[in-house]
Amino acid sequence: MKITDTVDQHVSWYVWFTELSIVPDEYRYVLRLISWFFITLALTPIVPIILLVIYDFALWLCQHRPKTADRIPTAS
């Protein structure tokens, strides 16, 4: 069995799957919109997590910046 045979099998499987018509063509757009809605809904929690990681990194950078003359506390 050659590599090209394996690739052809995978490509033919993909083409068969994408051309599979379970629903009529007029409903495909609606189904695609519904699926994109739920994919977006599923990925929504990722954005706050990424923002929290960025915020944590910014706090860590601010905590470790070197002390300068205007930031050194003086005894009053």
Q: Greater confidence, 75 or 53? A: 53
Between CA 28 and CA 22 the distance in angstroms is 10
- What are the residue ranges spanned by the domains of the chain? 25-64
Please say if the pLDDT value at position 9 is more than 60: no
Between CA 18 and CA 26 the distance in angstroms is 16
The pTM assigned to this predicted structure is 0.45
Tokens (6 digits) for 58: 């910014």
* 23-61: pLDDT as tens digits: 677 777 888 888 899 989 998 999 999 999 999 999 999
Distances (CA, A) of 47 to 10, 38, 42, 43, 71: 34, 15, 11, 8, 34
CB 63 within 8 A of CB 71: no
